[in-house]
Amino acid sequence: MKRIAYIRVSTAEQRPDRQIDGLKRISDELHIETLSAVARRRPVYETVVARLEPGDTLVVWSLDRAFRSARDALNELHALQGGGVQFHIADLSLDTATPHGKLTFTLMSAVAEFERDVLIQRTKEGIAAARARGKRIGRPPKLSKRQLSEARRLIDLGTSTRAELAEQYGVAEWTLSRSLKRMAERPST
């Protein structure tokens, strides 16, 4: 009967330290995955779950670190318990082996999904507001309008190839091609 911890962070910049510190005292093994919550496949999680045996407990720091939605959480809990595996959420001291634990798990799953949906909505609203104010969203372009105009002129004259210009500008050829295509599709002002 093992207690196996699953830790997830969304990006390499996020640190799993808080989860590690909280779970190492109460788990026999720690497994860390760096992956967005919306990823379709979670290889580390799938490997951990496949190794669980009846009597084992899957441990996570918080509900949102393991599941994407209330439905996902409830389906996974049902599958785990069907295999004789218990589920423990450390930051809630929640054990799903009891009726009270199952109820709390169900409610917290819905709350976690709600929080995620609100965060997504606020992010979209913030991006829309920034765009409405004329802000450019995303990474800055690698090539300036002047570089693209010059590249278009040299390609049209036949004095340079895309590969040569891409090397000169220090970008991949596909970056230059895609930027030229976008420039051509943009309405001229």
Cα dihedral 145/178/12/120 (nearest 10): 90
Candidate list 10, 69, 160, 177, residue with the active-site label: 10
- Helix pair angle (173-185, 162-169), 10° resolution: 100
Dist. CA 134–CA 118, nearest whole Å: 24
Report yes or no: 5 and 65 within 8 Å, Cβ to Cβ. no
Report yes or no: 143 and 169 within 8 Å, Cβ to Cβ. yes
Phi, psi of 41 (to 5 degrees): -115, 140
Is 10 an active-site residue?
yes
Report yes or no: 97 and 58 within 8 Å, Cβ to Cβ. no
Dist. CA 129–CA 6, nearest whole Å: 37
* Amino acid residing at 103: L
> Which active-site residues does the annotation give?
10
